Amino acid sequence: MSNNQEYRYTQTHEWARLEHNGEVTIGITEHAQDLLGDIIFIELPELEEVLSIGEACGVVESVKAASDLYAPLTGKVVAVNETLNTAPEKINEDPLGVGWIFRVRLINPMEWDELLSASAYATFVAED
């Protein structure tokens, strides 16, 4: 993972990384996977599905709980991490890398600025 890539975060513990082609890769945060514990199943969003910001679009299930996955931005799903179907533990191993969940093509780029910065997310987690 390159340190110069910009990540943004949601209060529901998803991260978003803007890619060079204008697409956004999305996953759950290190904090979220720590809270969930060992992840045993993930329900991925559908390819080509158009998601609205804040919409539930999947489920992450762990040995402790099942948690909805929310779209941090409005966009069309252009890729899903199929590896997670057989190896959901990749999210625990590397939530910001091989544990990415899906990728969208942004419909409303202005929403990017509404997401939390890394420092704002850290403050949110510390207060939570």
pLDDT at site 71: 98
- Answer yes or no: is pLDDT of 1 > 90: no
Q: Determine if residue 38 is left, alpha or beta; phi over 0 gives left, psi from -120 to 50 gives alpha, anything else beta.
A: beta
Q: What is the mean pLDDT of residues 3-19?
A: 87
pLDDT tens-digit map of 28-38:
999 999 999 99
pLDDT in tens, 58-105: 999 999 999 999 999 999 999 999 999 999 999 999 999 999 999 999
Which strands sit side by side in the sheet containing 39-43, from one edge to the other? Answer: 39-43, 56-62, 66-70
pLDDT of residue 114: 95
Q: Enter the tokens of residue 73.
A: 């931005």
pLDDT band at 20 (very low <50, low <70, confident <90, very high): confident
When pLDDT is averaged across residues 28-52 and rounded to a whole number, the result is: 96
18: nearest Cα among 5, 3, 27: 5
Looking at the domain covering 7-127, what would its CATH class be?
Answer: mainly beta
The rounded distance, in Å, linking the Cα atoms of 78 and 48 is 6
pLDDT at 2 exceeding the cut of 70: no
